[in-house]
Structure 1
Amino acid sequence: MTATPKSRRRVLVGVSAVATLSLGVGVAAGSRIQSPADAAAKTAAPKASQITVPVEKKALSSKVVARGDTSFDGAVNIRVETSGLRTAAVVTGKVPAVGSTIKAGEVLLEIAGRPVIGLAGVLPMYRTLSPGSSGPDVLQLEQTLDKLGYDPGTVDKKYDSSTAQAIEELYESVGYEAPEPEEQLTQAVDQADKTVDQMKNALRQAQAALKQAKAQPGKTDFSVELGQVSDAQENLDDAETALSEAEFKAGTPLPVSEVVFVKTLPRRVDDVKVERGGTVNGVVMSVSGASLVVTVKVDAATKERLKTGMAATFDLGDGTIIQATVRRITRNADQFDVVVAPKTLTSAQLERLREANVRVTIPVKSTAGKVLAVPLAALSAGSDGSSRVEVLRDGKIELIPVTVGLSADGFAQVTPAGDAKLSEGDQVVVGK
């Protein structure tokens, strides 16, 4: 059958549409096909470039920073020697409150109606002291009395009348009667006083006999009467000497039960072991230093960088910085305890810091003002071991030899060596 003109046009249009569609698919497919070189170029990492930072001018400070616990320095237990008491060691008053401060020359406690006075000293009170006593404990007592303003006379190892007088003044200042000597000593004074009276009477009698003999007519030999007067005078002198010695020995004593020596005062009362009406048996209270300290633990390497007297600070946590000083450094097993003491604290700060943990900073070394400084990452070593930095100038890298000073907080002090130039703001390479 012969195709009509109309049907031939339909075939031509269909062929044309198919050709056009095929061409579009081919173009699309061709646009998605890449050569290996093109693919590698698109996936390759970007070319590396230098990371730089500017040289700074700043003050550097090397420091030890650590956390430490607060405490009151030097806790000790206080005992009262009551073996010399003739009555039960009953607490009758003056019981201190926890947190109160005990001071030198003040009453710590009252036992059997008598005071227990606190004094500063390293030797314990191990015996009753009285006129005639001598030794290092007497020297310590006189030194303490002298510091408190009670004149003990010559500060030596001898307890004399001046020492006894100073003790009387001490007791008067705390509101108590001075201690009484033992009864046998006062009895000895009474007996010696009676003997003096007897010897005075004997002397008067001898002098009267001599006077009567001289009044007798014709008598010229008075040797017997003179001898009696001489003997009576000598006996009186001896009696008066004995009285002076008895009175000296019966001077004001210091009972072993009425004084406690503590290494240093003042101190804070941490714990009280007795109560009014109770009996003393051993420790009566625990006390620590009245001054608060912070103890930081460091290793041996850090300890070598520190020394007593260094300035320090610690942070209260609210931005308040407390100035302090390194008080002492002691070994504690395989570590070291660094004790830092604040210079001043308000009562509010003291309470806030009680049993706290704080951040302590101890500057070890610092530069004298601002210096050129670069990050530690900017430093590199040359083949000869010298230090250098890379400076990017006008798109080019220059190696600048430097002398390295103090390093701190990730920075190092640098000084250009020789004729090299390095200034604040220069860009130094720290990475790529």
Structure 2
Amino acid sequence: MSGWGRVLRGNRTLWIVAASAVVCLVAGLLVGRFVLTPEDASADAPDPGLVTAPVEFGELTNDVTLRADVGYADAVDVKIDTSGLSGGAAVVTMAPPAVGTVLNPLSVALEVADRPVIVLPGELPAYRTMKFGASGQDVLQLKQALAGLGFGVGDVKSNLYDQATAEAVGALYAKAGYPVPESEEEGAEDAVAEAEKAVRTANDGVTSAEEALAEAGAGPGRSELLDLDVNVAAAEAGLAEAKKTGEGVQQAEWDLQKARVAREEALAPKNTSAEQAALASAKEDVTAAEKDLEEARQNALPFLPASEVLFLTELPRRVDEVKVKRGAVLTDAAMTISGATIRLTGAAAEADGALIKKGSEATFELTGGDGTEFHAVIAAVAKGEGESSRWTVILEPDPLKPEQIEALKGQNVRVKVPVGKTEGEVLSVPLAAVTAGPGGESRVEVVDSDPREGDEAKTHVVVVETGLAAKGAVEVTPVEGELDKGDLVVIGE
């Protein structure tokens, strides 16, 4: 053993080469025995089988996927029209709302010169004082806003600022906790009191004139008429006595005639034209006084200065930035506000945008998040203007927690919008499995045996009616033949 060891140690290189040669010889023999040439492999390989897919059973949905930016509604600067402000500078007399404050209808956004700036829903900005007798789209907007908040404004379709509108504005100020603004006409309340007094005086004048007319047109009283009748009777008796004696007949006839004329004059209608004219004049005075009173009352009705109302769309709104402080003179924008709720603004291709409908549901995920899906609703879909073929899609998510809002704000997220959905679970196959028959009918080929048998495999055709297509599959309903979940259908060979 020690001799072989010396031989091996003395010829190590030779033995290594010899061993390698033996290994290569054995490998060559094995390759020659088991490895086939491409031609041999092609000749000996079995025929390929049918390419199949199982029939699925479940709900089928078709989705549109798009990207959307997360943020608040477009920010806008709040400017107050103080051009009509009287009584000094437009000083901010109340601490403005803090950043993050939510402005709702009837909120007081600001207080300028001790007067409120009341928030109301509307698109048109306040540009003039609205008062009794005014009409226009701004008045119509005011009435609709007040009606929507439960204030009675009369005819909500009328654009006229009438008595009911003025009373509603008065109620608005009471709700906000401020007195109605003082009339632009100095002493309006005193003018109403004076006008009311003038109406009372004019009515008293009518009463006096009516009494004078009644008195002037009245006939003799009962006592006076009795005296006149007695005088006539006495004159008649005197005439009869004179005729008996033959003395003083002519005088007696004159006395009788005089008594009769007096009675006729007392009973004759009186001329009351002067009294009637006085009554007509008194009534005209009443009409004029009532007109003056109506004007005085209208001048004293509640009105709405442009500086005391802030019309905003998409309420509620959120204060993003405050640009003034208490004691400052308001000369420019007071604050910047945006929508109070998070919304998603995305863009979709023309073909996808046409499939998305307002009110549809959608889901989105937080970029880099844990895969949690958030639910949203399509709030608006708008086709691109001009040459743009992109559609704008606005989504409103379900209420979010503050920490979720902070995590989502400013992100660009992936949104999935289902645009088609089967009514419950249905049978479906790959689109490639559906072929057209000789009559144009849709059909699938179902495998009855082992699909690996290729051309020898047994199959039969089932005529189907197709439905929703989504994600490479299509809903099928067997019309002729049977089709069940798990059946194998041919999609290629």
Which TM-score tier does this pair reach, normalised by the shorter chain? 0.7 to 0.9
Instruction: State whether residues 392 and 428 of structure 1, in contact with CA within 8 Å, keep that contact through their aligned partners in structure 2.
Output: no
Q: Which residue of structure 2 aligns with residue 152 of structure 1?
A: 153
Question: In structure 1, the residue corresponding to 2:383 is in which secondary structure?
Answer: strand
Following the alignment from structure 2 to structure 1, what is the Cα–Cα distance between the partners of residues 313 and 306? Answer: 17
Q: Which residue of structure 2 aligns with residue 62 of structure 1?
A: 62
Q: Which residue of structure 1 aligns with residue 111 of structure 2?
A: 110
Deviation at 1:95, TM superposition (A): 1.3
Following the alignment from structure 2 to structure 1, what is the Cα–Cα distance between the partners of residues 30 and 173? Answer: 110
Following the alignment from structure 1 to structure 2, what is the Cα–Cα distance between the partners of residues 224 and 30? Answer: 156
Q: TM-score, normalised by structure 2?
A: 0.69
Instruction: State whether residues 131 and 250 of structure 1, in contact with CA within 8 Å, keep that contact through their aligned partners in structure 2.
Output: no
Distance 1:54 1:194, change over 3 A: closer
Distance 1:176 1:38, change over 3 A: same
1:3-402 alignment runs, 5 A limit: 41=36, 47=45, 50=49, 54-73=54-73, 75-86=75-86, 87-155=88-156, 156-184=158-186, 186=188, 188-189=191-192, 192-193=195-196, 195-196=198-199, 199=202, 222-316=272-366, 317-332=369-384, 333-346=388-401, 349-375=404-430, 379=433, 391=447, 393-394=449-450, 395-397=452-454, 398=457, 401=461
Question: In structure 1, the residue corresponding to 2:278 is in which secondary structure?
Answer: helix
Distance 1:275 1:37, change over 3 A: same
Distance 1:210 1:349, change over 3 A: same
Question: In structure 2, the residue corresponding to 1:246 is in which secondary structure?
Answer: helix
Deviation at 1:97, TM superposition (A): 2.0
Deviation at 1:426, TM superposition (A): 4.1
Distance 1:152 1:36, change over 3 A: closer
Greater percentage in strand:
1
Following the alignment from structure 1 to structure 2, what is the Cα–Cα distance between the partners of residues 382 and 128? Answer: 73
Q: Which residue of structure 1 aligns with residue 470 of structure 2?
A: 408
Instruction: State whether residues 298 and 335 of structure 1, in contact with CA within 8 Å, keep that contact through their aligned partners in structure 2.
Output: yes
Instruction: State whether residues 108 and 118 of structure 1, in contact with CA within 8 Å, keep that contact through their aligned partners in structure 2.
Output: yes
Q: TM-score, normalised by structure 1?
A: 0.77
Question: In structure 2, the residue corresponding to 1:64 is in which secondary structure?
Answer: strand
Instruction: State whether residues 104 and 266 of structure 1, in contact with CA within 8 Å, keep that contact through their aligned partners in structure 2.
Output: yes
Distance 1:37 1:169, change over 3 A: same
Deviation at 1:89, TM superposition (A): 1.7
Distance 1:323 1:228, change over 3 A: same
Question: In structure 1, the residue corresponding to 2:334 is in which secondary structure?
Answer: strand
Deviation at 1:308, TM superposition (A): 1.9
Following the alignment from structure 2 to structure 1, what is the Cα–Cα distance between the partners of residues 302 and 354? Answer: 54
Q: CA RMSD in A?
A: 4.1
C-alpha distance after superposition, 1:49-71 (max 9, x if no partner): 55765443333211123332222
Distance 1:331 1:97, change over 3 A: farther
Q: Which residue of structure 2 aligns with residue 7 of structure 1?
A: none
Distance 1:201 1:401, change over 3 A: same
Paired residue type of 2:381: I
Gaps (5+ residues) in structure 2? Answer: 1-17, 225-264
Q: Which moved more, 1:143-152 or 1:404-413?
A: 404-413
Fraction of identical pairs, as percent: 39
Paired residue type of 1:137: D
Instruction: State whether residues 400 and 422 of structure 1, in contact with CA within 8 Å, keep that contact through their aligned partners in structure 2.
Output: no
Distance 1:246 1:36, change over 3 A: closer
Q: Which residue of structure 1 aligns with residue 258 of structure 2?
A: none
C-alpha distance after superposition, 1:56-92 (max 9, x if no partner): 3333211123332222235444322111112222222
Deviation at 1:264, TM superposition (A): 3.5
Paired residue type of 2:352: T
Q: Which moved more, 1:38-47 or 1:230-239?
A: 38-47
Asked if 1:425 corresponds to 2:427, the answer is no
Instruction: State whether residues 400 and 416 of structure 1, in contact with CA within 8 Å, keep that contact through their aligned partners in structure 2.
Output: no
Instruction: State whether residues 428 and 475 of structure 2, in contact with CA within 8 Å, keep that contact through their aligned partners in structure 1.
Output: yes
Deviation at 1:256, TM superposition (A): 1.4
Distance 1:55 1:129, change over 3 A: closer
Deviation at 1:315, TM superposition (A): 3.2
Question: In structure 1, the residue corresponding to 2:485 is in which secondary structure?
Answer: coil
Larger Rg over CA atoms: 2
